[in-house]
Amino acid sequence: MIRTRIAPSPTGIPHIGNTRTALYNYLFAKQKGGKFIVRIEDTDRERFVKGAQKKILEILRLLGFFWDEGPEVGGPYKPYIQSKKLRVYKKLAEKLVKEGKAYYCFCTKSRLDEMRKKQQKAGRVPRYDRRCLTLSKKQIEKNLKEEKSYVIRLKVPKGQKISWQDLIQGKIEFKSDDIDDQVLLKSDGYPTYHLGVVVDDYQMKISHVLRGVEWISSTPKHILLYKAFDWKLPIFGHLPIILGPDKAKLSKRHGAKSALDYQKEGYLPEALNNFMAFLGWSYKDNSDLLSLKDLIKVFKIEDVRKANPIFDIDKLKWLNGCWIRKMANRNLAKLLKPYLKVKISDKDLVKLAAITKERIEVLSDIDEMAFFLKPLKKFDKKLIFAQAKKDKKQIANLVKKTTKSLKKIPQKKWSAANLEKSLRNLRNEFVDWKTREVFMIIRVIATGRQVSPPLFESMEILGKERTVERFEKTIKLIQ
DSSP letter assigned to residue 191: B
3-state class (DSSP) for residue 172: strand
What is the model's pLDDT at position 378?
79
Average pLDDT over residues 59-87: 97
Of 407, 398, 417, 412, nearest in space to 465 by CA: 407
Average pLDDT over residues 217-242: 97
What is the model's pLDDT at position 128?
97
pLDDT class of 379 with cuts at 50, 70, 90: confident
Q: For the full predicted model, state whether its pTM sits above 0.85.
A: yes
pLDDT exceeds cutoff 90 at 433: yes
pLDDT exceeds cutoff 90 at 250: no
Q: Output the CA–CA distances (angstroms, integers) from residue 170 to 14, 29, 90, 272, 361, in the order listed.
A: 28, 21, 34, 29, 39
pLDDT exceeds cutoff 80 at 57: yes
Query: For residue 110, how many other CB atoms are within 10 A of its CB?
Result: 8
Average pLDDT over residues 31-47: 94
What is the sign, positive or negative, of the torsion defined by CA atoms of 295, 296, 299, 301? positive
DSSP letter assigned to residue 249: B
Cα 133–chain centre separation: 45
Q: How far apart are CA 316 and CA 269, in angstroms?
A: 11
85 is catalytic: no
Lowest-pLDDT range, 57-71, 290-304, 365-379? 365-379
What is the model's pLDDT at position 68?
98
pLDDT exceeds cutoff 80 at 252: no
What is the model's pLDDT at position 249?
87
What is the model's pLDDT at position 211?
97
Is the bond preceding 269 in cis, omega lying within 30 degrees of 0? no
Lowest-pLDDT range, 203-212, 239-248, 355-364? 239-248
Average pLDDT over residues 76-102: 97
What is the model's pLDDT at position 44?
86
What is the model's pLDDT at position 377?
79
What is the model's pLDDT at position 479?
78
pLDDT exceeds cutoff 80 at 253: no
3-state class (DSSP) for residue 50: coil
pLDDT class of 455 with cuts at 50, 70, 90: very high
Q: How far apart are CA 226 and CA 452, in angstroms?
A: 64
Of 15, 21, 51, 16, nearest in space to 5 by CA: 21
| Contact status, residue 68 vs residue 35, Cβ threshold 8 Å | yes
Q: Output the CA–CA distances (angstroms, integers) from residue 197 to 106, 160, 200, 226, in the order listed.
A: 24, 23, 5, 11
Q: What is the mean pLDDT of the chain?
A: 95
What is the sign, positive or negative, of the torsion defined by CA atoms of 309, 310, 315, 316? positive
CA-based end-to-end distance of the chain: 81
Task: Tally the C-alpha atoms within 13 A of residue 425's C-alpha that lie toward its C-beta.
Answer: 11
3-state class (DSSP) for residue 281: strand
Q: Output the CA–CA distances (angstroms, integers) from residue 238 to 194, 213, 420, in the order listed.
A: 16, 5, 60
Average pLDDT over residues 107-114: 95
Query: From the candidates 98, 109, 171, 252, which is the catalytic residue?
Result: 252
| Contact status, residue 35 vs residue 81, Cβ threshold 8 Å | no
Average pLDDT over residues 329-347: 97
What is the model's pLDDT at position 248?
87
Domains of the chain: 1-73+240-323 (3.40.50.620), 327-370 (1.10.8), 375-478 (1.10.10.350)
What DSSP letter does each residue of 439-460 carry, written as one string? HHHHHHHHHSSSS-S-HHHHHH
Q: How far apart are CA 237 and CA 267, in angstroms?
A: 30
3-state class (DSSP) for residue 250: coil
3-state class (DSSP) for residue 218: helix
Average pLDDT over residues 232-254: 90
pLDDT exceeds cutoff 90 at 91: yes
3-state class (DSSP) for residue 463: coil
Average pLDDT over residues 142-146: 96
